[in-house]
Chain A
């Protein structure tokens, strides 16, 4: 079993809609959770991090964490075509960061 699982997509949403990206992880001891965005041919860039159960909002982005269910999600409100990218979920395990395979998001104008 992989440490971090994501649906590879593609996830297609119309411009202005809410995009919901999901991630599950296997190690209950994980404490730190991150979402990265990666455009084709570019390096991953940090969008958000979350450490505590519940929601964390930053602009159009909301990260949600449920440690009991070992589940992390990212909501993107008012999706824009520029949000089209691959979104990577990352989870720490004793200072080792494990990444999911990423969900490709397409936002259609």
Chain B
């Protein structure tokens, strides 16, 4: 099991540039989540998908943020244009089918984004 794979691991960009973060969930997992982690706000849920369909994007901070999941094995989180306050670690996580109880989240290694 390769786990959740995120790329890139680190991204440094200038304010105003477009940033694209990528995620490959664990095979067979039908839920995919994007989180952002900062010292001040902790882990914040941005958006989650079920069977490639966005279910709840209420955590997306602004229209500058968008996420897609074109197929079961790939998702992207895009920030356009980026701002210094977007600097954070972005985690992708996936989980298996939901029965009576939720399956645990499995996290990728994260992308550390720095916007200068």
Contacts and interface: CB of A to CB of B under 8 A. Distances in A.
A92 B31 CA distance: 13
B45 A98 contact: yes
The DSSP consensus for interface residues of chain B is strand
B98 A46 contact: no
Interface in A81-106: 88, 90, 92, 95-102
A92 B91 CA distance: 17
A93 to B, nearest CB: 10
Interface residues of A, number: 21
A101 B38 CA distance: 10
Interface residues of B, number: 22
A44 interface: yes
A25 B35 CA distance: 19
B107 A97 contact: no
Most chain B CB neighbours (cut-off 10 Å) among A46, A99, A102: A99
A97 B109 contact: no
B61 interface: no
Contact of B48 (A31, A45, A96, A100): A96
Interface of B: 31, 33, 35, 42-43, 45, 48, 50, 55-56, 91, 98, 100-102, 104-110
27 contacts: A31-B101, A32-B101, A34-B104, A43-B108, A43-B110, A44-B91, A44-B105, A44-B107, A45-B107, A46-B104, A46-B105, A46-B106, A51-B101, A88-B43, A95-B48, A95-B50, A96-B45, A96-B48, A97-B33, A97-B45, A97-B102, A97-B105, A99-B35, A99-B42, A99-B43, A100-B42, A101-B42
Interface of A: 31-32, 34, 42-46, 49, 51, 88, 90, 92, 95-102
